[in-house]
Amino acid sequence: MAAYFLIFALYAQEGRGLDALQAGLIFTPIGAGYLSASLLAPRLTARFGHQVIAFGGLTRALGLAALLVTVAMNVPLGWQIPALVVDGFGMGLALAPIMGTVLAKVAPHHAGAAAGVLTTTQQVGSAIGVGLVGIVFYGSLAGGVNHAFEHGLVYLIAVTLAIAGLVQMLPRTAKA
């Protein structure tokens, strides 16, 4: 997600000409979607287990794909709001239950260490993601910021779908 926030901020400011405050405010629909999904995720996870994480990834990929279309069509920013809400909703479904799902099979006396490993893994993944998406974004910048953002989104959609697929490899009994 760190990579997404980086290239989206660059797109908003450099590609769409927003100032820093306006660019920050355009993230609001993502937050609204994330918050609403985070409130629903515990109940859904209790019923469907880790499938909620996979569904969140698929939902996020749908939101990113819709955003990609709006960027390619160069529509007004207001038209991007539904895509951003869907993206945030997918993030909330995928991320809210992750700690409980990952730690479900860990013995209580190892929970602290396992949570630390999970958090560290998330941070390292964010750093690697920023590096890789940065390579894609800046490698495509000759075509303009919007073009570079589109390429970054394609990469993020592919990674999101791959992770949603990997979640399917978790044991079926894992529930948050």
Residue pLDDT, tens place only, 63-76: 999 999 999 999 99
176 pLDDT higher than 50: no
Tell me the pTM: 0.90
For residue 59, pLDDT over 70 is answered with: yes
Mean pLDDT, rounded, of the chain:
93
User: What count of other Cβ atoms lies within 10 Å of the Cβ of residue 107?
Assistant: 8
Q: Tell whether the model's pLDDT for residue 43 goes beyond 80.
A: yes
Q: Give the residue, 87 or 171, on which the prediction is more confident.
A: 87
Top-confidence residue, 38 or 99: 38
CA distance 81 to 67: 9
Identify residue 24 by its one-letter amino acid code.
G
pLDDT of residue 104: 82
Tokens standing for 164? Answer: 């949603």
Instruction: Look at residue 8 and tell me whether its pLDDT is greater than 80.
Output: yes
Compute the half-sphere exposure of residue 74: CA atoms within 13 Å on the CB side of its CA: 7
Between the two ends of the chain, the Cα-to-Cα distance in Å is 22
30-33 long-range contacts, CB within 8 A, separation 24+? 30/84, 30/85, 30/87, 30/88, 30/91, 31/88, 32/85, 32/88, 33/63, 33/84, 33/85, 33/86, 33/87, 33/88, 33/89, 33/90, 33/91, 33/92
pLDDT band at 174 (very low <50, low <70, confident <90, very high): very low
**Confidence check: pLDDT of 42 > 80:** yes
Q: What is the pLDDT of residue 54?
A: 93
pLDDT of residue 173: 57
Is the pLDDT confidence value at 145 over 60? yes
Where do the domains of the chain lie, and which CATH numbers do they carry? Answer: 2-167 (1.20.1250.20)
- Average pLDDT score over residue span 108-136: 93
C-alpha to C-alpha distance for 57 and 69, rounded to whole angstroms? 18
pLDDT tens string 153-163:
999 999 999 99
What is the model's pLDDT at position 19?
Answer: 96
Residue 19 sits at φ, ψ, to 5 deg, of: -80, 175
User: And the tokens for 18?
Assistant: 């927003």
Residue 175 φ/ψ region, left for φ over 0, alpha for ψ in the -120 to 50 degree band, beta for the rest: beta
Sign of the torsion angle spanned by Cα atoms 155, 159, 160, 162: positive
